[in-house]
Amino acid sequence: MVVRLTRALAAADRTLAKVEEIALFILLMSMLLLAVSQVIQRNITDSAPMWVDIMLRHMTFAIGLLGASLATHADKQIHIDIVPRLLPERPRLVTRLFVGLATMGFCLVMLRAGWETHLMEREFSQPLFLGFTSADSLLVIPIAFGLISVHLALRWFFDLGILFIHRQPPDSV
């Protein structure tokens, strides 16, 4: 039962990461096409639409946050692991569970702060480009921290399953 559940959690985490990779690819290719077309247009006509610069800045921010979510999936986010390296396997896993809870709590605080910032910005929102407003551009913050929280929660339950069955399932994250 626990082994099947940990496999399902691992599969859900991989599926979410694949969707994020596709979104990241689309964002990167769009940025590349926009930047190249802007350079060509500036060289030909000595001008380019201002919205392209604004859009590229917002896309850069979104790519950074999406990359953070993928780093969380791959367990490559920044963390200080001096103490866990000195611990035996089970206490290391328990420490990882506590740190995971604290990190999820921080991400949920950031998600809420991002959402509240979006709601406040909606009151005085300014148009940016292609019908998007400044409030819309802030949605990337709660979305990204929500994705990071989901990855952390899946990893946390996966690690909890490992703690209960005392071994690594064959289809690990």
Across the chain, which has 173 residues, the per-10-residue mean pLDDT values are 76 92 95 91 83 87 93 82 76 87 94 94 84 87 94 89 66 45
The reported pLDDT for the residue numbered 172 is 45
Determine the Cα–Cα distance for residues 76 and 124; give it in Å rounded to an integer: 38
Tally of structural domains, the chain: 1
Residue at 172 is within a domain? no
Residue at 170 is within a domain? no
Determine the Cα–Cα distance for residues 122 and 134; give it in Å rounded to an integer: 8
Residue at 114 is within a domain? yes
Provide the pairing of β-strand 127-129 with 132-133.
antiparallel
Residue at 135 is within a domain? yes
Determine the Cα–Cα distance for residues 25 and 69; give it in Å rounded to an integer: 14
Residue at 119 is within a domain? yes
Residue at 69 is within a domain? yes
Residue at 171 is within a domain? no
The reported pLDDT for the residue numbered 46 is 80
Q: Domain range for residue 141?
A: 2-75+82-165
Residue at 173 is within a domain? no
